[in-house]
Structure 1
Amino acid sequence: MKNGRVTAASPSPERSVRVPLGLLGAGLTATAYVGAVDPNRPGHYPVCPFLALTGWWCPGCGGLRAVHALTRGDLGTALHDNVLVVALCGFTASFWTLWALRALRGRPRPALRMGRPWWVAAAVLVLAFTLVRNLPTGTFLAP
């Protein structure tokens, strides 16, 4: 009780780190599966519905191959397969690290606040990436 009000006790660092550790475990499990089951060999993963319907690479096409290459330590191939997924993996790892460190110190998780200009910029980037990788001059971005 503080100033006549009931306040919630802040969780111990061990307890507050459970969620980031659980998500790390889930992410590592999925990554281990993609590392073990090669997406370059047909029959293991479904075909991208956008690619099947339009014949165009979607922004995620090549993402599994990029993660597979990252599990092998082949950054060049990963960047070739899908540079956006590699960037997203780097961002996710950085955010998770910050979150876990804050949880260990008993601090709240970091807030991910993006205003409208950031969302518009992200949408334009993804759209431009999708368009360019499907043009004859952008074949270097195609998986």
Structure 2
Amino acid sequence: MRGVNADSRTTTPTAVGRLAVPAGILAAVAGAFAYVGAVDPNEPGHYPVCPLLRLTGLYCPGCGGLRSAHAFVHGDLTTALHDNALAVVAYLAFAVVWTVWVVRAARGRSLRIGLGPLRMWSLGALVLVFTVVRNLPSGGWLHP
């Protein structure tokens, strides 16, 4: 019996079944990038303005993320890094994690990302430092 565990009589997912969720996530992300690539965020009226930027004049860690994604889709890595360097790092990190997920799923293993408290605090500190530095006068090179 293919796909059935003889000992417990439960079905085990096939390779196609194991890859369905990563494929769905990739389709959603690709669709989002395709939309942002087609609808230019540099032209006013297409996307809402960041509420933090509108109310305080301060850039949040996500400010410039759509412009960064637009430039990234069009292959302009320099502009993408200028608009939001942290977002570009996140795009690349997603690609690595997704690839590892697919390989592990194809082999029948689950994806376990054990970040732990130290790594989570470090990631939070990185986002906080990025946010503070981009709002300092000397951090103008990080403004979107």
- The TM-score bracket by the shorter chain reads over 0.9
**Matched pairs, number:** 139
Match of 1:36 among 35, 38, 58: 38
Q: Which runs of 5+ in 2 are unaligned?
A: 1-5
Counterpart of 2:78 in structure 1 is: 76
Output the amino acid matched with 2:113. L
Secondary structure of 2:54's aligned partner: helix
Output the amino acid matched with 1:23. I
Report the Cα offset of residue 135 of structure 1. 0.7
- Of structures 1 and 2, the one with the larger relative CO (CA 8 A, separation 6+) is 1
Paired residues of 2:40 and 2:70 also in contact (CA < 8 A)? yes
Q: Which runs of 5+ in 1 are unaligned?
A: none
Counterpart of 2:129 in structure 1 is: 128
Output the amino acid matched with 2:87. V
TM-score (norm. length: structure 2): 0.92
Report the Cα offset of residue 20 of structure 1. 0.5
Counterpart of 2:87 in structure 1 is: 85
Identity %: 50
Output the amino acid matched with 1:65. R
Output the amino acid matched with 1:83. A
Deviation string 1:83-136 (CA, Å, 9 cap, x unpaired) is 11000000101111111122222x223111111111111111111111110111
Counterpart of 1:139 in structure 2 is: 140
How far apart, in 1, do the equivalents of 2:17 and 2:142 lie? 43
Counterpart of 1:51 in structure 2 is: 53
Q: Once superposed, what is the RMSD of the aligned Cα atoms?
A: 1.2
How far apart, in 1, do the equivalents of 2:47 and 2:63 lie? 12
How far apart, in 2, do the equivalents of 1:104 and 1:118 lie? 27
TM-score (norm. length: structure 1): 0.92
Output the amino acid matched with 1:81. D
Match of 1:15 among 14, 17, 21: 17
Deviation string 1:51-98 (CA, Å, 9 cap, x unpaired) is 112110000000001110011101111011101100000010111111
How far apart, in 2, do the equivalents of 1:124 and 1:7 lie? 48
